[in-house]
Structure 1
Amino acid sequence: MKRLRMFVMGTRFNRFIMGLIIVNAILIGMETFPAIYQRFHAPLMILDIVILLIFAIEVALKIAVLKKSYFSNPWNIFDFVIVLGSVILYSTPFVSVLRIFRVLRVFRTITAIPTLRRIVAALFMAIPTISSVLLIMLIIFYVYAVLGTSFYGEVAPEYFGNIFLSFITLFQIFTLESWASGIFRPIFEQEPSAWLYFISFIVIAAFIMINLIVGEIVNNAQKISDEVEEDTGEIKTDTSEIKELRKEIREIKQMLQQK
């Protein structure tokens, strides 16, 4: 059992699974090309079945080794659900659902790489703050949508004809997609003061709010990294102490043998 545990939790086995995840992602991408899919349909299906079988064996081995503690890790539950769903739906008529599970296998890359897990964990930790920022952004969007409808509803009815069109227009401006040539300049020709409306919205919504979200995620990622470094430092300290104890035991044995 110890050998099996060392094998399953070992670096080589994890790298092998990581390689399979990448190969699986490449195969799924190749299937999106009709010419390749029609020509190599049978080999692609066989490879997909083999990869799924290996994933199922991996999950089964980890459950056998870790037992109940396997399900204490959310990432393990994520892997288990994806693999189990793929196995159950493989021979069923629910092709669309099966495709979703097959594509979700690519997300197993996150479970295999610790740094990616830290980033996702930081993102989840930032959800309370992000929700507050999104609420502020919704208020900003609403205020500017009302102002845009009031000021430019007659000038550009296709963009600011009503509050719903204003919301869509503001979202386009927020993404900075063709806002200057498509929306701003035609309105600016008739309303020279429009620059104040557009620039203030971009500065507040696109720059300040997004930086708040990014900053919160970065801070959480830094916290997780600091915690990992502290845990690693403790492990290194414990390891050095164990080495010193072993050294002292050897010296005591040598002294006893000499007597």
Structure 2
Amino acid sequence: MTRDNQNILASFVKSNGFTYFITGLIVFNAILIGLETFDSIYTPYEGLFFWIDIIILLIFLIEVVLEIIVYKKRYFMNGWNIFDFIIIVGSIILYSTPFVSVLRIFRVLRIMRTITAVPSLRRVVTALFMAIPTITSVMLIMAIIFYVYAILGTSFYRDISPDFFGNLHLTFITLFQIFTLESWASGIFRPIFAEAPWSWLYFISFIVVTTFIMINLIVGEIVNNAQKISEGIEGETDEIKEDTTEIKEDTSEIKEMRRELAEIKDLIKSQNMK
């Protein structure tokens, strides 16, 4: 392939039109896979769904081939590209095998690529990934708290409410229901409170520590990271503005120098004519 053809192909692959087309196709493919779950829709048009799926898969394959030609080794340095490559190539190789159904479902995950096209979503996802170490630490603390409260709940309320606190396993499930605040008061707390008046200390303290404090720690960390990213972007924007201002000033100086040179040339010409 000549350099001119390579440049034309690179411009086509990197163009907004190509990106929007692939993104729209990803969304359409996701909707199509969702429609296949409705027997009333899928069964009468099974053949049509099959051929549309084949066409979409071929377009995705062409996309991968074009991007590999343009980016070469750099294509496999991007995690999303590797994900696309595995899903698409795997879908083609295993299309007539029982494993293809799993890969076809995974193809709907390609819609996650649209996150990279929206800057605000990209910042949120980046902030979420940055918060993973903190989230892991908070989850570890929550696991310890859950375990302590599970032992206490099983010890205190096993006889009062064996359906919810009969053993450690049931207590863990009950605590998770309380943690989500789903029907915890009427379904779990009040029957126990009727027989154990001091049980409110156990339930209220667990909700305050886990649902309010721990979750707010996670949300606060994500918000803090998002703010750092925004501040970083603003800093880069300010630097670009400063560079642009300097370029404008340099341009003005160059124009002034050109004007002075033009005046000098005119002066020299006028003297030569004399």
Same fold (TM over 0.5): yes
Deviates more, 1:107-116 or 1:177-186: 107-116
SS in 2 for 1:39: coil
Question: How many angstroms apart in 1 are the aligned matches of 2:251 and 2:96?
Answer: 57
Q: Is the 8 A contact 2:87 2:103 kept in 1?
A: no
Name 2:268's counterpart in structure 1.
none
Name 1:34's counterpart in structure 2.
39
Name 2:77's counterpart in structure 1.
72
Change in Cα spacing, 1:198 to 1:125, as seen in structure 2 (3 Å) is same
Q: Does 1:174 pair with 2:179?
A: yes
Name 2:64's counterpart in structure 1.
59
Question: How many angstroms apart in 2 are the aligned matches of 1:119 and 1:11?
Answer: 23
Letter in 2 for 1:217: I
Matches within 5 A, 1:75-154: 75-154=80-159
Q: CA deviation at 1:13?
A: 1.8
Q: CA deviation at 1:247?
A: 6.1
Q: Deviations over 1:211-233 (max 9, x none)?
A: 11111122222222333333344
Letter in 2 for 1:167: F
Letter in 2 for 1:120: V
Name 1:190's counterpart in structure 2.
195
Change in Cα spacing, 1:72 to 1:102, as seen in structure 2 (3 Å) is closer
Change in Cα spacing, 1:228 to 1:43, as seen in structure 2 (3 Å) is farther
Name 1:222's counterpart in structure 2.
227
Q: Deviations over 1:62-107 (max 9, x none)?
A: 2222222223333333333333333333233313322332232333
Letter in 1 for 2:148: V
Change in Cα spacing, 1:6 to 1:39, as seen in structure 2 (3 Å) is same
Q: Is the 8 A contact 2:26 2:108 kept in 1?
A: no
Name 2:208's counterpart in structure 1.
203
* Structure 1: 5+ residue stretches without partners: none
Q: TM-score, normalised by structure 1?
A: 0.88
Q: Deviations over 1:187-234 (max 9, x none)?
A: 111112111111111111111111111111222222223333333444
Change in Cα spacing, 1:86 to 1:242, as seen in structure 2 (3 Å) is farther
Q: TM-score, normalised by structure 2?
A: 0.83
Change in Cα spacing, 1:231 to 1:219, as seen in structure 2 (3 Å) is same
Deviates more, 1:237-246 or 1:34-43: 237-246
Q: CA deviation at 1:170?
A: 0.4
Q: Does 1:6 pair with 2:11?
A: yes
Deviates more, 1:150-159 or 1:242-251: 242-251
Deviates more, 1:31-40 or 1:45-54: 45-54
Letter in 2 for 1:222: Q
Letter in 2 for 1:16: F
Q: CA RMSD in A?
A: 2.4
* Structure 2: 5+ residue stretches without partners: 1-5, 266-274
Choose 1 or 2 for highest CA Rg.
2
Q: Is the 8 A contact 1:25 1:106 kept in 2?
A: yes
